[in-house]
Amino acid sequence: MAQNTNLNIAPYFDDFDSDKGFLKVLFKPGYPVQARELTTLQSILQNQIDSFGQGVYKEGSMVIPGGITLNTELPAVLIQNTYLNLDVELYRTALDGKIVKGSTSGVRARVNFSISAATSDRGNITFYLTYLQKANDNTTTTFTNGEVLTCEEDITYQSTTISAGTPLAQLLNSNSNSVGSTANISAGVYFVRGYFVPVLQQTLILDQYGTTPTYKVGLKVEERLITADEDETLYDNAIGSTNFSAPGADRFKINLTLVKKNVTDPNSADFIELLRTDTGNVKKKVVRSDLGFINEVLMLSSEPEILIFSRVFEIFFFDSSIKLSTNILVSNNLKNLRKY
């Protein structure tokens, strides 16, 4: 599937046409270089990459593992929205990744991330945690209702610093502990619309306070044109610093964002499904690309030599009507490859 964004418009005028069969742009002395030729040059190369990619990968295939996982047991605590008349929302995100400690219990936990009171289904700031240490009684494993939290390191918001060990938040006086569910994707690369597109590590909340999510989870594909107005690194820096009076060329970008959809929602061209859950159970999951499967078969071999029959290559590299008569003998270190 080719990109949707039409670049054959002002100011780009990328008129590349694969039907013409052009493979190179040949610049000549004495002739001015046209901006559209520089853009077309990229399109020619991209067409080559796309042609290769379609021969090996399906649309949306995982190229470099950016694997997706389901977590239905993520501890959460609900926080009072104000503490000592100060809005906790002011420094809520500053606590992400920090270790907090219960002043009463001594329980320690890392704040993985949090949600605001406006986002919360229950109307309270919520911290999603990884517990690190039990209470002083060596029995209690979670924070307790009404407990005051401190942070083990300084945090800064706006122009204010809260010193380590200073009380900064308090749990609800009742029903403060809960469990949520998330989908997580690690950094990797996917084959999308003819490009090998990086995906960043992301966490998506499926159910804020539930452990039985039922969703389709996947990547939302968004094509964008980025200008210097949006990203100041695109201004000219030839003098060693940013020249804000000299914007550079725009950039084309594909964003891959982890999203969830109801299982009854139809899939669309801008959605790559990676995971499907039913009441907390995994019903469908993309694990690897077809090419990655062959690599794993080879790498997992523990025998001195393994016989890989032509059927594997027939399935993944050739039309099913083609029958290969040659077998491949592969040594365990993958260095000696011979036909026989």
Count CB atoms within 10 A of the CB of residue 82: 15
Q: Quick one: 184 and 226 in the same domain?
A: yes
Q: Quick one: 67 and 214 in the same domain?
A: yes
Count CB atoms within 10 A of the CB of residue 156: 10
Pick the last residue of a domain from 112, 138, 171.
Answer: 171
Does residue 76 form part of some domain? no
Q: Quick one: 130 and 157 in the same domain?
A: yes
> Could you tell me the pLDDT band of residue 235, with boundaries at 50, 70 and 90?
very high
Q: Quick one: 87 and 147 in the same domain?
A: yes
Pick the last residue of a domain from 236, 256, 281.
Answer: 281
Q: Is the pLDDT of residue 292 over 80?
A: no
With residue 246 as reference, give the H or E element that holds it.
Answer: strand 243-247
Q: Is the pLDDT of residue 266 over 60?
A: yes
Beta strands in 99-163 (DSSP E): 99-102, 108-115, 125-133, 148-151, 155-157, 160-162
Q: Is the pLDDT of residue 321 over 80?
A: no
Please state the rounded mean pLDDT for residues 243-260: 94
pLDDT above 70 as % of the chain: 84
Residue 284 in tokens:
């469908």
Q: What number of CA atoms fall less than 13 Å from residue 11's CA on the CB side?
A: 7
Q: Tell me which of 1 and 222 has the higher pLDDT.
A: 222
Residue 20 has what pLDDT? Answer: 92
Does residue 154 form part of some domain? yes
List pLDDT tens digits, range 190-211. 999 999 999 999 999 999 999 9
Token pair 């009463």 is found at: 104
CA distance 59 to 320: 19
Host domain of residue 335: 290-339
Q: In degrees to the nearest 10, what's the CA dihedral of 57, 59, 60, 62?
A: 0
Report the candidate in 145, 83, 141, 81 with the shortest Cα–Cα distance to residue 114.
81
Q: Quick one: 270 and 123 in the same domain?
A: no
Q: Helix 310-317 to helix 290-299 angle, to the nearest 10 degrees?
A: 160
Q: Quick one: 124 and 191 in the same domain?
A: no
With residue 54 as reference, give the H or E element that holds it.
Answer: helix 35-56
- What's the mean pLDDT when you consider all of the chain? 86
Does residue 88 form part of some domain? yes
Q: Is the pLDDT of residue 33 over 90?
A: yes
Does residue 39 form part of some domain? yes
Q: Which residues contact residue 334 at a Cβ distance below 8 angstroms, ignoring those fewer than 6 apart?
A: 298, 299
> Could you tell me the pLDDT band of residue 54, with boundaries at 50, 70 and 90?
confident
Q: Quick one: 65 and 213 in the same domain?
A: yes
Q: Tell me which of 241 and 151 has the higher pLDDT.
A: 151
Q: Tell me which of 228 and 304 has the higher pLDDT.
A: 228
List pLDDT tens digits, range 89-135. 999 999 999 999 999 999 999 999 999 999 999 999 999 999 999 98
244 phi and psi angles, rounded to 5 deg: -70, -5
Q: How many domains does the chain have?
A: 4
Residue 333 in tokens:
């270190």
> Could you tell me the pLDDT band of residue 141, with boundaries at 50, 70 and 90?
very high
Residue 161 has what pLDDT? Answer: 95
Q: Is the pLDDT of residue 49 over 70?
A: yes
